[in-house]
Amino acid sequence: MIQKLTRFAAFKALYPTLKHFKLKDIEDCENIVPTIDPMGLVELKSLRLQFCKELKCIVDASLRQVPATAFSNLVELSLDNLPGLREICHDGRPPKEFLQKLESIQVFDCDDMHTLFPPMLLQRLHKLKKASIGNCNKLEEVFELEGLCYGGEEILVLLSSLAALTLFELPQLRCIWKGPAHYLRLKSLKKFEVKHCDRLTYLFSLSLAQSLVQLEEVIVGNCGRLEHIVSEGEDNKGEINVVAANGNDILLPRLRKFGLEDLPSLIRLCPKNYKSTCPATLEELKLYGFLNDAPPFIVELEDNMKTALEVVSGRYSAPLPSSSSSLLLLLL
């Protein structure tokens, strides 16, 4: 294990062709580029950083020594136990080709970050497929949309490749997507899981919900202030509300699994003037932790499923719609 930054000079000849790089317990290092490699590790496919206490960013663009191709071929990025990490790219516009091929990112135990993807970095993530973020105690938003600088059609395909998003143990998270979310199209999202994010009040805006045509699994648990799954509240001002062809229905045509656990503030699944439709593809519906009277959204589910949900020995139970032969479980 390399312990001192001065020892990296011995490996300088390897950096231009290096494919995989793992750094652990590195001292006296505030950034990877330009400090370790001024050329930007252009051939690197995967980067894992762990227990680097003094690391503040991955790329420091303020030093004006960062090439446009820095990390241009990076596919996987893992950031784990980096208590001093404040941002992925510091100061202004990221390099032109920065993270343009990134498909997977994991961010765990980075307690000094407030925003993971600011707008100018978000615009680089054309191929991002999987993101997992957890145990970041100061993180307030994941995707920041305010300040996007491109116009036209290009801006409408942001995060169009994202297939899986997992968020957990983020006590200060207020927004998953901050700003006008009609700039996003989550047309590839299949799995969405959020747990222990106590400051969230909603998950999707109306325009985002209308783009979830591939969504198969939604798991939400232990979010004490969550009131709606889909909202048209104050945080969505300025959005262009997309209405489905059949009116105000919010359609999730491929949904197979839907789980809600310990959500004491949940009022409705979607706004009053809208309704969600229970698809024939639904295989499993789980409700856990609703110990008092049936919450209001139960009526909404009953209406969507066109069947009554009965409480028997502390469990909600109901048959699936006749169009499906799979097993449905609703648990208290």
Map 19-35 to HEC letters.
Answer: CEEEEECCCCCCCCECC
Q: Among 81, 3, 97, 14, which Cα is nearest to 48's? A: 81
Query: Tell me: the pLDDT tens digits for 268-289?
Result: 888 877 777 667 788 888 888 7
Beta carbons within 10 angstroms of residue 324's beta carbon: 15
Beta carbons within 10 angstroms of residue 165's beta carbon: 21
Considering only residues 264 and 306, tell me which one the structure prediction assigns the higher pLDDT: 264
Q: Residue 36 gets which letter from DSSP?
A: T
- The predicted model gives 287-307 an average pLDDT of 62
Considering only residues 78 and 11, tell me which one the structure prediction assigns the higher pLDDT: 78
Query: Tell me: the pLDDT tens digits for 78-137?
Result: 999 999 999 999 986 899 999 999 999 999 999 999 999 999 999 999 999 999 999 999
Asked whether residue 49 carries a pLDDT value surpassing 90, the answer given is yes
Q: What share of the chain is helix, strand, coil (3-state, %, to 5)?
A: 15, 25, 60
Name the least confident of 44-58, 100-114, 200-214.
200-214
Nearest-angstrom CA–CA distance, 42 and 33: 11
Per the DSSP assignment, residues forming a β-bridge with 275 are 249
Nearest-angstrom CA–CA distance, 258 and 269: 12
What does the DSSP assignment read for 255-324? --EEEEES-TT--BSS-TT-EEE--TT--EEEEE---SSPPHHHHHHHHHHTSPPEEETTEEE-PPPTT-
Class of residue 110 by CB neighbours under 10 A (exposed 0-12, middle 13-18, buried 19+): buried
pLDDT at 240: 43
Tokens representing 52 are 């680097």
Asked whether residue 146 carries a pLDDT value surpassing 80, the answer given is yes
pLDDT at 7: 66
Instruction: Break the chain into its structural domains and give their ranges.
Output: 1-113
Nearest-angstrom CA–CA distance, 30 and 52: 9
Coil, helix or strand at residue 247: strand
Query: Tell me: the pLDDT tens digits for 13-39?
Result: 889 999 999 999 988 899 999 989 999
